Amino acid sequence: MLNLMNEHIDMLAQAEPSVGPPLFWSLVLIVVLVVLVGAVAMYRRWMNADDTSGGDGFTLSDLRRLHKAGQMTDEEFEKAKKILIGSVKAAAEKMGEKPREGPRTIGPDFDEDHLA
C-alpha cells in the first residue's frame, strides 16, 4: 500500500500541469472586467453630462427688458419674440402638451375663496 502511494506521488510530481486553460480563462476574465469598467465610466460620464441642447436662453421678459432699455430695435424684438414663441410651442408639442393661446388670464369661473 505504501508502495502504491509512493507511485502516485511520483506520478503527480512528474506530471506537468497544463497552463493553457487557466491562463485563457484568466485573460477572458480580465477582458470582461476591463469592458465592464469602461461601460460604467461611459455611463457615469453620460449621466453627469450637461444637457446643452435646450439651454435656458432668453425669456420673453428678458427680451422685453432689452427692448425697453433700447438695446433692441422694434424689428429685432418682434423677430426674437416670434422665434422664442415658436420654439416654446415646438417644445410643448414635442412633449405632448398643447400650448395655451393668448395671454394668461383668470377665467370667469375663478373663485378666490377656493384658494384660501
**Domains of the chain by residue range:** 58-99
77-116 pLDDT tens trace: 999 999 988 888 888 887 776 656 666 555 555 555 555 4
Contact yes or no for 73/66 (Cβ under 8 A): no
Question: Looking at residue 60, what is its pLDDT?
Answer: 85
The pLDDT of residue 100 is 61
- What is the model's pTM? 0.36
pLDDT, tens only, 39-59: 999 999 888 876 555 556 778
